[in-house]
Amino acid sequence: MDKRYELDQVKLLSVYTMGEPGKRTFFLIIGQKEDWIRVWLEKEQLEALGLAVDQFLFTLSREHPDLPRNEDETSLSDHVPSRMPSAELEIDQIVLGFEGEWAALDFLAHVVGPQSEETAQLTCRAALAQLKELGSQAKSVCAAGRPRCVLCGRPIDPEGHTCPSDN
């Protein structure tokens, strides 16, 4: 049986990263101040999310040019909750939608832990300005990774780099 989480008008919607360059792990914090869910994702998924948000907002602004921005309702915070998350999920798929004046993020995921085959669906509604901020966080976090080799374009680890084009 699927677990379902529904979070309306979230206050927290941010990208976090832990660890050294090259060994970083990525997660989103989604929820209200002390009632939140940790959503783990791969760097590739985070990159894709950043691009998808851009595309989504671009399409939306063309289809709804008169859309209210409700930016003043947004109080984005970099508050990291002190309480443990109420759930930990690993993302399989993210779908962006639009409901009323809100962005709807649908996360298809599975639960982290011993019952990791258990699937979950998380629906989160946020202001468009929050979604936009999430997208730019995703892009800047991904861009802040390891420097890339000018010869082969692959990331350079802190321990060094064995270049496949150097033979």
Binding site for Zn ion (CB under 5 A): 149, 151-152, 163
Which residue matches tokens 């919607």?
Answer: 13
Q: Which is nearer to Zn ion, 84 or 163 (CB)?
A: 163
| Smallest separation, CB 164 to Zn ion (Å) | 7
Q: Are 72 and 101 in contact (CB under 8 A)?
A: no
Closest to 90 measured CA to CA, from 40, 36, 24: 40
| Smallest separation, CB 148 to Zn ion (Å) | 8
Q: Which is nearer to Zn ion, 108 or 149 (CB)?
A: 149
Q: Which is nearer to Zn ion, 108 or 152 (CB)?
A: 152
> 34-38 contacts: CB < 8 A, separation 24 or more?
34/81, 34/82, 34/83, 35/83, 35/86, 36/12, 36/81, 36/83, 36/85, 36/86, 37/5, 37/7, 37/85, 37/86, 37/87, 37/88, 37/89, 37/122, 38/85, 38/87, 38/88, 38/89
Q: Which is nearer to Zn ion, 95 or 163 (CB)?
A: 163
| Smallest separation, CB 21 to Zn ion (Å) | 16
Q: Which is nearer to Zn ion, 129 or 149 (CB)?
A: 149
| Smallest separation, CB 22 to Zn ion (Å) | 14
| Smallest separation, CB 155 to Zn ion (Å) | 9
